[in-house]
Chain A
Amino acid sequence: MNNKGQSTVEYLLLLVVVTALAFSIYNSARFKNFLGPDSEFFAIVKNKIEFSYRHGYDSQQDETGDIAGHYTFVKNGGESRFFTTTKESYGD
């Protein structure tokens, strides 16, 4: 009997354990939620980029794309932070 091949066997056993751990992490719901397909992480990044690009400040509110409900210009109910002519005085 000798010790030859012991380190190889130990290496293989450890490799199996590490591989199993890696696969279990990769296939876990939490990991997929973070980096997998349709992950929440990337959805948040997408929403933040789109919102900040359009409105110039950091948020991730739902963006409907509806121009009539534009957050930056006109809030719900027609309130605005701008001073300007109204449609009536514009000559309509």
Chain B
Amino acid sequence: MINLFYKISTLKKYMTKTAKIIIGVVVIVLIAWLGYFYKKQATQMGNTEPIKIGSIFALTGLGASQGEQELKGVQLAVKEINEAGGISGRQIELISEDVSLDKLNVAGSVAHKLVDIDKVMAIVGTTWDEPAQAILPIIEAAKVPMVGQNQTRALKKDNPFNYFFSTWYDNEVGVRELLSYAQKMRLKKVVIVRPIGAGFYQYVSDKISSNAKEFGVEIIEDINLNNPTVNDFRTDLAKIKIKKPDAVIIVLNGFTGCPFLKQAGEIIGNVPVLSTEGSGDYYALSQCSKSMENLYFSYPKETSEYASFVERYDKAFGASPSTPSVMTAYDALKIIAKSLESTNGEGGEKLQKVLAQTKSYKGVSLNDISFDELGFVATPLDAFEMRTVKDGKFVKIR
């Protein structure tokens, strides 16, 4: 009894005024906002309330350079729809959240917040596979459809989830386009360099290895890089040099592209570097175009909508869309909006059914977006083309 009394009085002593204030403020903020949202749910009736759509991209930390751009694609779509009157007369309210590989443990919290508190109708996201994989059970249980803008086929195989769709291309098609170029240019002996760190690189690199033989490409050396933030490739390039390959294949993106290409230029000279669509990054082009002249990459063909999209994007953001997932993110939101039109703003199972039946949607990323039974985009075998860089511009290789 005396112990208890003693404990309370010492506890009071510990908690100085400032500590109490800080803790108090945080708790109050949390309660206040939760209360605010509860109230908002309670009074939300009637059709002039905004339609909420969530987005989850990597906005800080690992992958932020990509997620930042993907968010822009979605923002443009939202702006255009709202300016045209919204969905069934209701404006879209975009709730944007941040999940990146270096803080993967908030993926669940973010998903729960969007579906339980904000009560979004649908979500666009995530940047790369991992956060999506962690979120799938949550959206499935809450019956909130999510459309991914750059998820690989590795995602659903283990767990068929019905509420997840993706507008991202089948990477294998791009890989095969790349390899058929190698075949055409008689690049027989090739070294593959595997960046490591996100499942995406692993998946695409595996596709390259498994498809290579069919195109007469022999992988003479398989080099694994070591961590996602590495940008010193020199010794790996020195190893490549002594093998004297016809070409180097590596899955690059806007972040690793410039350092690798610059160092490749220094160490292995004119050996061509082959890569996939992530390397055709407009932002990287503005930073190191000269080094990119040795780069040959497969990229989705321009659709009929593309030119006008670029104009609108440029008007909104003063730049070209840097990477293909900007376009797929834009299409993802537009498809969600279109489906919401047909369900008259209703979400859940009804929305899922309409989304699943998306066929022949004219997108910016593909001329014909149709979801297959797993919810992925059916990618035509000739959807990609080869490009390189000349005089600071991307040019198609004939």
Q: Are A and B subunits of one complex?
A: no
